[in-house]
Amino acid sequence: MEEQIIRTEYADVMQKSYIDYAMSVIVARALPDVRDGLKPVQRRTLYDMYELGIKYDKPYRKCARIVGDTMGKYHPHGDSSIYEALVVMAQEFKKGMPLVDGHGNFGSIEGDGAAAMRYTEARLQKVTQEVFLRDLDQDVVDFVPNFDATGKEPEVLPVRLPNLLVNGSEGIAVGMVTSIPPHNLGEVLDAVKAAIKNREITTKELMKYVQGPDFPTGGIIINKDELEEIYEKGTGKIRLRGKVEVEKGKGGKQKIVITEIPYTMMGANIGKFLNDVANLIETKKAPEIIDISNQSSKEGIRIVLELKKDADAQNIINLLYKKTRLEDTFGVNMLAVCDGKPETLGLKEIIEHHVEFQFELANRKYQNLLKKELEKKEIQEGLIKAYDVIDLIIEILRGSKNQKQVKDCLVNGTTEGITFRKKSSQKEASSLRFTERQADAILEMRLYKLSGLEIEALEKEYEKTLKNIETYEDILNNYSSMARVIIKDIDSLKKEYAKPRKTVVENAEEAVYEEKKMEEMEVVFLMDRFGYARVIDRTVYERNKEAADKENRYVIFCKNTDKICIFTDAGKEHLLKVQDLPFGRFRDKGTPIDNVCNYNSSEEEILYIEALETIRQSCLLFATRHGMMKLMDGTEFEASKRMVAATKIGENDRLMLVAIVGMEDHVVLQSKDGYFLRFALSEIPIQKKAALGVRGMKMAEKDELEAIYFLRQNENEEPEDQVVMSREKEVHLQKIKISKRDSKGTRPR
């Protein structure tokens, strides 16, 4: 065979390959089908359990057995994805209606993982068996070849309720994500009934039945008025709050008890919530809380916060809503696979797809039932007819040589080769015209069926068959009849499986926290050479002054209501509130500065730290390695953000100095090549943040500033001489000639 070389653009090949991969992930892995609300891995796992006979009234089977069988037959994508799907379908706190009955450790609401699959066991829930898998033997859905074409699997399960809404779904595909909240089964079924009765129903009318999502963890939805728009578009944000109660404790103290949490707070976020509350206490934002305890158990969530006597409990609750995940948002994006492609659906569209699917299932089911009844009718008519000519049939049987002759006579009236006792019998036999199916039934009939009682029962059964045929034809030919059957099924499902709503839906006011005015006090900010910062009382500092000055890189006097400004060589200003820093004893370690502001020690270096109150009343000098300098008024650095640009710097340049200066000072610039330039600070203009500044010193191309010195000019006193080393020589800064800015300077001999 000759080799064929196909010439094409590499970009086109990559584009096609990536699109094929993306669509495979979207349709075959990450997104649920709108008809049964299941992802492929969930569908295959449930079908495999059905095939293995692991029913709700049968013993549990090891999850490892289920996972292995599913992976080998239907889902060759690794055991972890199958087991994770199995675990989630068994977790009551994640699913509105669990589909798997788990036995063993299947994880907890606090984020504990399930035990390994070799330890846990599972079986189908009753609802799964009766509502998701019941009619699989009725040929109501198509079966497709599995991944290696050695078997078949259902394209979709014949689910009789809108599982996409009841259990919701979460999944990340390529370039898209689905996030559908769970809903109350009873409400959704009522909405489906309404949609069947009124095919022009609107989203607003459907919401008379579906109040909103119903999360397994309960909680409170607080933006009821926004739900209609969310359900109309299929996207939006639902605001959730935990359920909080105030209980009386001993000694007149109160307790804030959290009994339900937002759905988004499940898992590790419960631990994070407790840490956030502890942090509020540490930073003195919630000093009224004296103890936190997580008393949650299998019975439910119970997180208790004990308060000081006379504390304002409602104000603390509002603080928790504002500063923790006790109030959170659930992002809704109702994306599902419709007709083989992903589509964002509103509430109405999802219910319409479900109704259409139910009519399709019912149509196929009753077509098959009608077909079976028609076959049964044909056989019954043949047997009744045979009873009337039973003597002739017996004579044919006696006179024939084999079964083929008998069947040929019964179907076509062929009498050749058959011996008859009477010629009239032969003539009568030649007029027989049974169908093939009737002839087979007659030949397989046992003699006891010839008794009078059996014939009577057959006639009654025949009447029943005729009624069934009439019923099935009516269902298939009339929309109202089929709708009546589906609604009857919905009513039975609601009666057996519906549960009361857990999540409250209301319009709540914005949580307003009245922050108590902090008592102002003098404190000292300490930061060691490792970047750990803390705040101590001024009197504590005075007692440990020598050790504090020796062990810390920065010691700044400020107030607890102040902010600390951190200037870095990247030209950034980081602001942090003093009250956000741990306040305590002198020997406390403190917290890394990176944790309380946006400073990144791997990308920038701290040049200067000072209290905002001090900076506000000062003038700051900024200088870069390339010799650009400017003065800035301290009021420029008041900001509400945690990080702002302190100044503009040129390309490939870095800030080398930030300092508070007095306008009567002189400045001495020293370059790496050993040049010194002295001039008055008044020559540097006061500019804004967006300015690059002016050149302080002319330097050679590869030269840059190495150091900057300040000479304090005091007319009443002789200025103190400063001596620095340059090229192994002493340089007396006071003796350097005063020049103008933007000159080359001198190199001392």
What gap in Å lies between CA 508 and CA 321, rounded to an integer?
A: 12
Please, what is the angle between helix 390-399 and helix 403-412, to 10°?
Answer: 140
Question: What backbone phi and psi angles, to 5 degrees, belong to 680?
Answer: -80, 140
CB atoms within 10 A of CB 709: 16
Distant-in-sequence, close-in-space partners of 450: CB < 8 Å, separation ≥ 6: 387, 390
Beta strand 61-62 with 235-241: parallel, antiparallel or unpaired?
unpaired
- How is the beta sheet containing 676-680 ordered, strand by strand? 676-680, 666-671, 705-711
Contact by Cβ (8 Å): 669, 697: yes
Residue 476 sits at the vertex; the CA angle it makes with 470 and 482, to the nearest 5 degrees, is 100
At what angle are helices 63-73 and 79-90 packed, to 10 degrees? 130
- In order along the chain (749 residues), what is the average pLDDT of each group of 10 residues? 74 77 71 93 95 94 96 92 95 92 93 93 96 91 92 94 94 85 96 94 95 94 94 95 90 89 90 90 83 88 90 90 92 92 94 95 94 90 83 81 85 82 80 86 74 76 92 93 95 94 90 72 91 90 91 91 92 89 84 86 89 91 93 89 89 91 84 91 90 91 90 65 83 88 86
User: Residue 715 has what pLDDT?
Assistant: 57
The HSE-up count of residue 417 (CA atoms within 13 Å, CB side) is 13
Q: What is the 3-state secondary structure (H, E, C) of 528-549?
A: ECCCEEEEEEHHHHHHCHHHHH
Question: Residue 459 CA to chain centroid, in angstroms?
Answer: 61
Instruction: Report which DSSP code applies to 583.
Output: B
Strand, coil or helix: 365: helix
- Residue pair 107/89 in contact (Cβ under 8 Å)? The answer is no
Backbone angles phi, psi at 462, to 5 degrees: -65, -40
How close are the terminal C-alpha atoms of the chain, in Å? 87
**Cβ atoms of 593 and 623 closer than 8 Å:** no
For residue 124, the SS3 value is strand
Report the half-sphere exposure of 564 (CA within 13 A, side-chain side): 30
Q: Do 588 and 562 form a contact (C-beta atoms < 8 A)?
A: no
Q: Find the radius of gyration of the CA atoms of the chain.
A: 42
Residue-level pLDDT at 29? 75
Residue 699 · residue 677 · CB < 8 Å: no
Q: Is 513 a catalytic residue?
A: no
Could you say which of 119, 366, 448, 541 is catalytic? 119
Separation CA 380–CA 374 (nearest Å): 10
Going by the DSSP 8-state scheme, the letter that residue 285 receives in this structure is S
Token pair 């035990």 is found at 115
Rounded CA-CA distance 657/541 in Å is 28
Instruction: Supply the pLDDT for residue 145.
Output: 92
C-alpha–C-alpha distance, residues 143 and 137, integer Å: 11
H helix intervals, 431-517: 436-444, 452-477, 479-497
- Residue 337 Rama label (left phi>0; alpha psi -120 to 50; beta): beta
Contact of 118 with 105, CB cutoff 8 Å: no
Angstrom distance (rounded) from CA 304 to CA 254: 10
The Cα 378–Cα 370 span in angstroms is 12
Q: Across-strand partners of 122?
A: 61, 102
Question: Residue 144: helix, strand or coil by DSSP?
Answer: strand
DSSP 8-state class, residue 128: I
State how far the alpha carbon of 167 is from the alpha carbons of 164, 467, 485, in Å. Answer: 6, 39, 24
Containing H/E element for 499? none
- Consecutive H or E run containing 368: helix 347-388
pLDDT in the model for residue 2: 66
Report which secondary-structure segment, H or E, holds 303.
strand 303-307
Distance (Å) of CA 92 to CA 41, 67, 88, 102, 175: 19, 20, 8, 10, 30
SS3 470: helix
pTM comes to 0.73
Q: What is the pLDDT of residue 282?
A: 79
Q: Which two tokens stand for residue 422?
A: 């009477």
